[in-house]
Amino acid sequence: MKKSMQKAINDQINAELYSSYLYLSMSAWCFSRDLNGMGSWFKVQAQEELIHVGKFFSYVLDRDGKVELQKIDGPPTEWSGPLAAFEGALEHERKITSKINKIVDLAAKEGDHTTHTFLQWFVNEQIEEEATAKQIVGQLRLIGDNTSGLFLLDKELGTRVFTLPPAGAAA
């Protein structure tokens, strides 16, 4: 693996770790406001980000590269409400999609077909990541100040569970 690609993926490992940190912070904020379903949803999201970290981590090692972990920035700790938190999540996922696309561009430029193929899982994953956040933002906008609606959505989001990907699942 070229050094330029190794650096790009190490930077992405950092971005995915930050994603986990951000969602854990959003989770804490929701739990502290008794929005336990949303708190649980964000906690699952934080766990999923660690799966993304693991995929990049293993890929670098499999290609005989060097994993170089970097400092993780502190995430925000306050939001004006659940809508602002989920809007923040959507905005963040759009940034992550753009970062993934830039690595895909680099892989194409360098003729690194292996990395290009590896990245397709993330390209597809980002469709779901953005769509899910966008849907929840839309529902929260519909709910507005309706506390019964918020209560029901919180309950529904609390049903999300974290599932480990099957052993040996394609990276």
What is the number of other CB atoms lying within 10 angstroms of the CB of residue 76? 12
User: What DSSP line would sit under 105-123, residue for residue?
Assistant: HHHHHTT-HHHHHHHHHHH
**Does the protein bind ligand FEO through residue 10 (CB under 6 A)?**
no
Q: Which of residues 109-148 bind ligand FEO (CB under 6 A)?
A: 129
Residue selected from 14, 29, 39, 52 as contacting ligand FEO according to rule CB under 6 A: 52
* Nearest to ligand FEO of 93, 112 (CB atom): 93
Residues from 22 through 51 that contact ligand FEO (CB under 6 A) = 49
Q: Coil, helix or strand for 38?
A: helix
Contact between 19 and ligand FEO per CB under 6 A: yes
Kindly list the residues in this chain that would bind ligand FEO in the complex (CB under 6 A). 16, 19, 49, 52, 93, 96, 129
